[in-house]
Structure 1
Amino acid sequence: MRKKLSTGIRVASGLAIGASMVLVGTSPASAALGKTETAAASCGYYHSSDGWVKYKNCSDNKYKVWVDTLDNKNEYWFCASAWSDRALGSTHYITWAHAFERC
């Protein structure tokens, strides 16, 4: 019984991890999340080569973008214009940014 239970837990936790990985890429204006800036178009949240976190909207629509900070106190949202690229702050302070609805 103990062996079956631990196997079930491993399968359930594996499914949960797989589901969360699928959900990460579902924000409407993001394609390359959390990647370092390259010559190819980086869309969504990314780290630039100069130590800044940026958000690039690769869409024809405006989107509200939520910005999470390390201290969870000074979080904010902004309206990203179509095809805009905006610096959000230092990689040491900004932890995540994602589009959540149209402006």
Structure 2
Amino acid sequence: MALPRSLITQAVTEVEIKYGSVLKAPPSAMQKVWALTKTEPQPEPVMLQVPKQQFVLTRMAISRGWSVNELAGILGRKPRYARRLMTLYKSGRLIKRGSK
């Protein structure tokens, strides 16, 4: 169950009003904020199906130690997408589409 973002914002605002800044607040005051953020589920794709060519290029990029930007350039996609492919491949959650 995801909490509305306003609850977290409200908790942070309360801390800011009381202590003047989040940085000046003692850890005990931040406990409530941390508790709220921990209950929010982290959206993470379970599996991602990609075309075979992208799968092979990702595998090659990781084995050769390419940077995220190099992979993004070759795929013709944004670095954000290339980083996602690399992390999913490393955790074994990238599947190639169209493989027999």
TM range (shorter): under 0.3
Kindly indicate which of the two structures has a greater share of residues assigned to helix: 2
From the CA coordinates, give the structure whose radius of gyration is larger. Answer: 2
Relative contact order: is structure 1 or structure 2 higher (C-alpha 8 Å, sep ≥ 6)?
2
Kindly indicate which of the two structures has a greater share of residues assigned to strand: 1
